[in-house]
Structure 1
Amino acid sequence: MVLLAAMAVWRIPAGMATDPRGPVEDLAEALRRGDMETILEMVEIDAHRAEEFSGLAPERPSGLLSAETIDEGWELPGIVLGETREEGPGLTEKDALSRAVDGRRPPGIRVTTMKFGDLWSVAVRTSQRDSGWIRDWELDSPATTPHLLGSISLPHPALGPLTIGGTTFEPRDDRMALTSNGADALIGVYQVTYEHPMFEPATETVAVRPGGETTLSLEVRELKEEVTDEATEQIRRHIETCVEESTVLRPVGCVIGHDPGHYFPLRGDAVWELERMPELEFEPTASDDHNGRPRAVVTTAVPGEASVTYAYSQEPERTDTVEIVVGGYVESGEDGAPTWRP
């Protein structure tokens, strides 16, 4: 009797020695530290099998689910834990008898609210998976994983380096780069920098929420100076070639042209002379083509001038001056080089 009484006294604290809130507190602390290795281990996620962007090669196999990714350019709103409540079926007759005999709570599920600043909150579940005298509480990994992961997607293929947090993805030359896709990411707020080959790098801040998809804007800024110079040079060569080679008033495919109001046949060839190049502006814009790639729209700030000398039938020769107005857009070609298209 003395032995049985001693065992009963010992079993009561032994059965209650573990705390259903403990694993949630451990997870919250790992999140606060940005300890990716511990986080992934606690929720049993294999980072090497995570979804990745196609057409982009990460610096490391685990991509966004690497410790380096959240070492910089990533932060998490302050975590506040709420109360822990019981969830699950009511006591069975066996559970009630067991509880009456040794004072233990029956196996079940406990839920603790985890609030992330004012952005979102989740309910993290813990459970007891065994029935021994000391029953450890563990995270319910399948239920917890969606609370810790979201995804980042691309609106169109990235043509230049894409840095998310502390990881940079470089474009790779394959057909998969023609698809849009998403990659798994730990919840939190990320700094994202996109370096399009034509535009100055642009940075945006995005929040990855539990179980949600965050689509990047892949914003672009003004054209790089060397791209502006290259596009201006292409337009200059186009105008000079048209002026040198055109022998009619309305040369096909040229930005120069003269419409005197009728179509009488010329006596001989028209002779063009370039008087002044136009002054151009380049404005970044979202593309409306099927690839969704950004372009720079070309507009003419100050028209150029050209003169054309020509004659009709027996009429005397005349010279008229016309404006040169350039439009079109600049886009990145297959090799990444800028190309002006009228």
Structure 2
Amino acid sequence: MTRKFNFSAGPAALPEAVLKQAQAELLDWHGEGLSIMEMSHRSAEYIGVAAQAEQDLRELMQIPDNYKVLFLQGGATAQFAMVPMNLLRGATSADYINTGVWSGKAIKEAQRYTQVNIAASTEGNSFTSAPAQSELVLNPEAAYLHYTTNETIGGVEFDYIPDAGDVPLVADMSSDILSAPVDVSRFGLIYAGAQKNIGPAGLTVVIVREDLIGSTLAGTPTMYDYKVHADADSMNNTPPTFGWYLAGLVFQWLKQQGGLEAIAAQNRRKAGKLYAAIDGSDFYANPVAVANRSIMNVPFTLADSRLDARFLELAEAEGLLNLKGHRSVGGMRASIYNAVPEAAVDALIDFMQRFEKEQA
């Protein structure tokens, strides 16, 4: 079997070492005579797996003790509703920064539960940048300030952590969590779908400050209450056990790479190479403001869009998969998450340069 280079935005590449370990343990986990997928989530063995995964994530991100770490279902999309349901706590409005598709979806869902103040929007420049701190119009009475740290589709990444004052800061980190160190204490809540940098689809990680939970909107479903999950160690019902186990393997792999400082250096090097190749060519272009270029998702266009189909066909033939841009923006997109090796980026750059010469 030959593994190819996967540039999918999600579900995304997983570390090959993690896949091999899961494969080796699939039928018989640690001599127990059954698969981890068949194991009761109430068993001492699985509770140990879950607890180790949480501990490893806490160490990687240096999560303070007054934060709960939850392993949930429903994807980041469910969090668009869970955040206002749990964090409004009597307030009548919340602040949101609009930088693209995913922040837009979060805004639309939040409007079902509260008044949303758009603290800033970059829709006017087609979502090709993030607003500066000085551009944010914040309400000191807001329940929280929500933003998307990295827009997967547009390839726009914040180059700073917004200052919300005394208002809790909420971040959707689905596509850049664990890509670099972050000061968790700056946030009231962080959430992320797993299928980009954490593990397989089906798992969602929530990191929430303890004082923000326990007061939900009337009528909030039991399974949408953070405190219910916190009190039950994320096992109020049967959790996505295999996804949680695989996430734990990814956390261990990250520690073996040297932690988030080391993986950040790799990510910056990979992204730097790819952006340099794009900028050094008249054939390829990236529309994002340089300061806000994502190190995880790199969109680019060809000088002649009529060549897009040919580019994708030849790229796939060379084992470079899932480079087609999102249907809402077109073009190409290379998602180069933690598990995408530098060799994949090198192979992509080599192909891009050869393709350009062939079309000259």
Normalised by the size of structure 2, how large is the TM-score?
A: 0.21
Q: Which has the larger radius of gyration?
A: 1
Q: Which has the higher contact order (CA 8 A, sep 6+)?
A: 2
Structure number with higher helix proportion: 2
Normalised by the size of structure 1, how large is the TM-score?
A: 0.22
Structure number with higher strand proportion: 1
